[in-house]
Amino acid sequence: MKLLLNSLLLICFVFVGNAQKKDAITILGKDNFAEAIKDNNIQLLDVRTPKEYAEGHIADAKLLNYFEKDAFRKYAGKLDKDEPVYLYCRSGNRSQKAAKILVDMGFTEIYDLEGGYMNWSE
């Protein structure tokens, strides 16, 4: 009986933890993202490669290459976890993965550009 209760508690904690991760990440369309980043005091991250960044990026975005995992975590660790983070990549795939890393690091308010820079530059 005790084993059954412990197993049920573990399952509950897993589901609650996953729900909190999903709540921390919000996907924003291009117009809503543009409105949200008008404030100059935001944490705006471009998680693409340096080559992609050099070809064009959103003004004031800080390059933080998702593929350089150690550097990504080191720089992200210096960000203010109590302030929102806005991020994007080329199409939305890497930024979703980067957002999950940020949640695991303790960030609670993350906004991801739907469709990434491809959507932004259309």
Give all domains of the chain, ordered by start, each with its CATH number: 25-121 (3.40.250.10)
Q: Please compute the mean of the pLDDT values over residues 59-78 and round it to a whole number.
A: 96
Confidence check: pLDDT of 19 > 90 = no
Residues 47, 87, 89, 113: which is the catalytic one?
A: 89
Confidence check: pLDDT of 14 > 60 = no
Name residues whose C-beta falls within 8 Å of residue 98's C-beta, 6 or more positions apart in sequence: 45, 47, 64, 66, 72, 87, 89
Question: CB–CB of 87/44 below 8 Å?
Answer: yes
pLDDT at residue 12, rounded to an integer: 44
CA distance 114 to 122: 13
pLDDT at residue 41, rounded to an integer: 85
Confidence band (pLDDT; 50, 70, 90) for 122?
Answer: confident
89 a catalytic residue: yes
